[in-house]
Structure 1
């Protein structure tokens, strides 16, 4: 049963202060994440190719995340999100799935500070300090203005999360509100512009090589589209863990489906492929100014930075809770599974601070960081989605406040096979995009193996032990069954 806090001791459970719309606000990181990959995808795939793949990837994400509504309500007291569902489903067959899924999920979310800190630094330099192109070499690493700015951002957002969930959520709402400005401008205003020319967009996916390229790009896109599952990580912190988790996931799926389908067509058709190829990382800025009649470059840059801050804030909150859950369940070093007296996973936050500084300084390229983390991230989804089938088979009578129709069982198998296909092709060929290669793949595999090694050393019992059976933990009063199909 959930532990209760004794006066003068550290709390054992995360405080329940969130509502479903807080989780939905967290999911706005996914539309914001388009900033890091949309321009590059249009350049590599053509406008129509990018639009088609973003739509297909989002449809895949919709099916996957709909499955997570059942899993999330089965385990409303787990702060491990989909990695916890994977561990639960596979623990009797393959207990090593727990550390692989935990680390595989934590790494991409945990490195988002580095990923988007680098993008933020590049935007600031391009807009306000274009002449500052200095670089300092420190042995095998180098520092420049974008990297220094990224490091400052990492420290600031770490401090925001240290203060507490209320300040974090206030920061999330402010940045999510600002994000709505460019989303409206990029989706609606191009439709009323004479320069909007969607028929000028091209399709660069031809033959078998085009299919391979598409799968590699879906490997990269997976982080941005599948990331809606962030809503499930906060299940223990929702006031009503069952209702709020399901509502947050469904709202995020529907909203992001529309955004991911429309923006490549509207903004891509307005900006034009030539302009996007010339500056895939910051073409948004010029397009924003042009759509508003000029003079909006500074405003757009600030909006973009706000959206990146939203991604990073959410990522810190999500990844720190996953690492806390891993420590609490003995999947990694147990000392990180502790909360301070205010209910904040401080030790997990400290680990993330150090890791992001190292990742940003070593990898530097945002997409290189993304493709490094995607190996474990997609692998975690494979274990979690297939886990839906296993849990239906192994625990047919388990409490399921939301029980999806039967056709979701074969659908989970189809989705698992498709994700495996994307993983194999993408992980062995992402150099086609110009980002990543042997080094990034080796780092990803090394991190996953390190997670398994740490797990072996932290286990207290022989190998047949798995993580605690969360389905046997009585649900809290706020987690009573609310829906059945």
Structure 2
């Protein structure tokens, strides 16, 4: 995008160098902004959303109004010419589902901030439905407009973004410049959403004993700054790999596993007597556990097998191994976290009970012992 907006950059930096510099600048800026709390991060999100969503709405609607959309480009290309419903193509279809949901289903991050909402019982579903409607608009109408203008072959042939030639066809050269600015703002918005959401998730897992305690440290503004630094460092490592396709493919594997595990955990929580009785500000209707089980099985194993198969065909096994290695790194981290939790609880346990204490006093003392 930057090379397209500023061609002179291509004479000074390679795409790899520019990626590293951009990543460093973006994560440094986001760290400084998010250091001051969730409110500042939300304000940045509003600004970026205005710069990305408003032009996107105009760019999506304009081709329909100007008559550039040819529905035959869509209705005549539902399936590839060589498509057949055999095991090979069905596995590819499941792999495409995995990659599609990785890019389209990210609005669950709105629930990460649930404990910090003023009224979680009402605000969580409002946030989820609002984000879902925006994503439904984006991933249906934008696709329709782009493929309707360019056709499937035109989209596949576009090296940077198919939105750029759509904007050029509708608004001329000025449309291309505005679109690139919009895409950069949208990209930073995606990074900010994932960056802030990931740090909050790491903080939550740390306080619950599922990650090392140092990830839960916060500054005076309540920001989990250690989690922010770790997330930024991890993303810089991914950028340094230099293979966008491998990163996206590995991320799709991780997201598919996370989706399946989360859905199965929800079903478990609704069925387990001790977990089902826990008080929660927001609870999905009782019948949703069956929906969760259905989509959990859809993710694991169907989409997981499909995305591994698709990756092996398209870009080799590197991305698959990268995805599973990153996931497997959590096992030793979790074991260490459990050891850390046990050690902390053992330090807090009373070593002796006074000999002159009464049975009732003993029970009262034991009630004060943190639960293991």
TM-score, normalised on structure 2? 0.81
Map 1:303-382; keep pairs closer than 5 Å.
Answer: 303-362=182-241, 364-382=242-260
Task: Identify the match of residue 423 of structure 1 among 289, 300, 304.
Answer: 304
Q: Is the 8 A contact 1:187 1:263 kept in 2?
A: yes
Counterparts in 2 of 1:255-334, with a 5 A limit? 255-334=134-213
Structure 1 stretch displaced more, 158-167 or 220-229: 158-167
Cα distance in 1 for partners of 2:146, 2:16 equals 33
1:214-237 deviation line (CA, Å, top 9, x unaligned): 211111112122211001100122
Structure 1: 5+ residue stretches without partners:
1-122, 137-141, 466-485
The corresponding residue for 2:359 is: none
**Relative contact order: is structure 1 or structure 2 higher (C-alpha 8 Å, sep ≥ 6)?**
1
Of 31, 40, 49, which aligns to 1:167?
40
1:446 equivalent in alignment to 2:292: no
* Superposition deviation, residue 247 in structure 1: 1.1
Matches within 5 A, 1:241-260: 241-260=120-139
Given the alignment of the two structures, is residue 183 of structure 1 paired with residue 62 of structure 2, yes or no? no
Shift of 1:383: 1.8
| Shift, 1:160, TM fit | 2.2
Residues 312-358 of structure 1 deviation map (CA, whole Å, 9 limit, x = unaligned): 11111101111112222222221111111221111111112221211
Does residue 394 of structure 1 match 2:272?
Answer: yes
> Deviations for 1:254-302, whole angstroms, at most 9, x for unmatched residues?
3322332222112211133343222243231232133224422222111
Q: Deviations over 1:227-256 (max 9, x none)?
A: 110011001221112211121112222332
RMSD: 2.5
SS of 1:295's equivalent in the other structure is: helix
The residue that corresponds to 2:335 in the other structure is: 456
Residues 216 and 254 (structure 1), Cα distance of their counterparts in 2 relative to 1, 3 Å cut: same
In structure 2, C-alpha distance between the alignment counterparts of 1:327 and 1:393, rounded to whole Å: 25
Assess, with a 3 A threshold, how the Cα gap between structure 1 residues 458 and 387 changes in structure 2: closer, same or farther.
closer
TM (norm. structure 1) is 0.64
For the pair 1:154 / 2:27, whether they are aligned, the reply is yes
Higher Rg of the two aligned structures: 2
Runs of 4+ in structure 1 over 4 Å off: 133-136, 400-406
**Inter-CA distance 244–279: structure 2 relative to 1 (3 Å threshold):** same
Separation in 1, partners of 2:286, 2:42: 37
Aligned residue for 1:429, secondary structure, equals helix
Distance across 1 between alignment mates of 2:168 and 2:323:
39
1:194 aligns with 2:67: yes
Change in Cα spacing, 1:346 to 1:409, as seen in structure 2 (3 Å) is closer
Kept in 2: contact 1:289–1:300 (CA 8 A): no
Q: Is the 8 Å Cα contact of residues 267 and 289 (structure 2) preserved in structure 1?
A: yes
Residue matched to 2:7: 129
